[in-house]
A and B are shown apart, each in its own frame.
Chain A
Amino acid sequence: MDKLLQQIVNGITLGSIYALIALGYTMVYGIIKLINFAHCDIYMIGAYVGYFCMTYFKLGLVPSLLIAMLVCSLLGVLIERIAYRPLRNAARISVLITAIGVSLFLEYGTMFFVKANVRTYPEVTGMMAQRFNVGEMVISMQQIILVGITILLMALLQFIVKRTRLGKAMRAVSMDRDAAQLMGIDVNSTVSFTFALGSALAGAAGILVGLYYNTINPLMGVVPGLKAFIAAVFGGIGIIPGAMIGGYFIGAVEVMVSGYGGSMFRDAVVFGILILILIIKPSGLLGKNTREKV
């Protein structure tokens, strides 16, 4: 029973990371119908920015987090401007291939500059290193901070999407781009804003993962990126609460599978879930079935 509770705590921690990344996938897909393969590498860049801020400039967690989010959102906007916007009206497959290209470029470009070796985040000290024993469970301060920041960012995102003018524009563009344009919404800047928001969340996830797992490398984004995408599909791609639910679900499944003896098959189980969802209910948990029109 205690083991189960401990696994649930770990699952929530991992799920927070997946949920943060999945939000970026789902928002971008919702607005321009593109699987942004480069998203997982923005998360990696976020981890590296955080690493440099903390190691070389000796900044604390909050300033590093803000800098990483800022750099990542600029990068996201830049990628959209250079690589995706010229292809806005091209065939879907071309944009998807471009996204794979951008992803590889970020991975191997980073590898070229910082080398392929693993880097270690500075050791956490003081209040951050505390651990709490609740019964047999161990909850670390890092886990509490990680989950706390995630929930704060999600609440902020919900506020932006539901309550602000820009959020309203985002929802309008994702419903019908042409109609939104006719209503006087600047589609290009709305799409840029969506990329900025999603990338900032990915950057935050990157620095939190760096703090939690301590090691980062240029290819660290590939596997979590795929899993976060699966989380987004699970919840219903394009739906923001769906990405949160999916993230926590995938995190819990992964922790449970590896906690109960199947750690070698952990990734296979997650991909299996993906294929099952795609076959049974491609629109995801919260998605509505849409009929295709000729």
Chain B
Amino acid sequence: MRKFIAIGLVYAIVQILIMTNLISGYFQATLVTIGINIILAVSLNLITGFTGQFSLGHAGFMSVGAYVCAIVTMRMPTIPGFILGVALGAVAAAILGFLVGLPTLRLRGDYLAIATLGMSEIIRIIFLNLEVTNGAAGLIGIPQFINWTWLFIFTVGTVLLLSNFVKSAHGRACISIREDEIAAEAMGIDTIRYKVIAFIIGAACAGIAGAIYASYFHYLEPNLFGFLKSVDVLVIVVLGGLGSLSGSMLAAILLALISTYLQSFPEIRMVLYSLILIIIMIFRPQGLMGSREISLSVFSKLGRNKLWDRFKSQKGGQ
């Protein structure tokens, strides 16, 4: 219950700030980027962080969702059309995730990473050559439906879906595959099935993120979804901690703010990103949060001064 009150509060505060124009249009774009990055990061975290399958093809799934949603909403520029577009985008990305996942998930570690990277490059090249996606010139004038309310619904929906999945029996099966695939198989877990499930859910969420991108920025071109986009998402997941959903959210917010400030120096931004990757991997490979989660009970405990009391009593004890 407390969780839903907190979620509602966040929504209301930002909505009021937008309505009173305290959040400018420029910062609204940052908000949308944060929302998209949160969805991408938590869904990649399900694949890479929880199930332990290293994927470098997240931008490919995102691009499928983006293009499907764009094409549908350009034909049907209404709210039901938009919802249909997002849904079809997610389904198309999920089908692709299934098709790609089934054969390639027999591979391990680095081989899987390279195969998924190859897959997303193939998708990008196909979009570059298709008639309906207007090739390298891209699609312009996609109707804009995304506002703060829609963004909030999709972001919170995805995060809740994934956090419930991770806490379920299926989620624990996925985690056991990450910890030790052979042991998991010996315990009777159908590892291929759970890997494919993780891939499908992750791909569908990435498709939703792509649909939001298409609908807010009303411009798409295949080169937006190259290798660098996949690396961007990977940086967020690694920084937040492989296996921590709240870590991914925290890192998505942090990096979106950093890159907003570094907008005019794109080279510095990438140098900084790469240094973050190297330094984290050498000194704190588990990321900011490790596999821990921030929960709301931390705040309520702080409110009741319990932590403070415990801290005092520990000090007294020494």
Size bracket, chain B contacts: 35 or more
Question: What's the least CB distance linking A231 to chain B, in Å?
Answer: 12
A86 touches B227 (CB 8 A): no
Q: Does B234 contact A (CB under 8 A)?
A: yes
Q: Does B275 contact A (CB under 8 A)?
A: yes
B277 touches A104 (CB 8 A): yes
In the assembled complex, the Cα of A196 lies from the Cα of B130 at a distance in Å of 44
In the assembled complex, the Cα of A149 lies from the Cα of B285 at a distance in Å of 42
Instruction: Give the residue of A97, A111, A226, A279 whose beta carbon is less than 8 angstroms from that of B103.
Output: A279
Q: Does A294 contact B (CB under 8 A)?
A: yes
Q: Does B128 contact A (CB under 8 A)?
A: yes
Interface SS of B by simple majority: helix
In the assembled complex, the Cα of A111 lies from the Cα of B269 at a distance in Å of 12
Q: Which of B8-16, B24-32, B114-122 lies at the binding interface? A: B114-122
The CB with the most chain B CB atoms within 10 A, among A97, A98, A108, is that of: A97
B231 touches A100 (CB 8 A): yes
Q: Does A52 contact B (CB under 8 A)?
A: no
Question: What's the least CB distance linking B135 to chain A, in Å?
Answer: 9
A87: chain B residues at CB < 8 Å are 281-282, 285
A91: chain B residues at CB < 8 Å are 285
Size bracket, chain A contacts: 35 or more
The CB with the most chain A CB atoms within 10 A, among B111, B118, B271, is that of: B118
A274: chain B residues at CB < 8 Å are 114-115, 118
Q: Which residues of B contact A (CB under 8 A)?
A: 48, 52, 54, 103-104, 106-107, 109-111, 113-115, 117-119, 121-122, 125-126, 128-129, 182, 227, 231, 234, 238, 242, 267-268, 270-271, 273-278, 281-282, 285
Beyond known contacts A93-B109, A97-B281: 20 more, CB 8 A cutoff? A35-B113, A92-B109, A96-B109, A98-B281, A98-B282, A101-B274, A101-B277, A101-B281, A104-B273, A108-B267, A108-B270, A109-B271, A116-B267, A226-B117, A265-B125, A268-B125, A275-B115, A275-B119, A278-B111, A282-B107
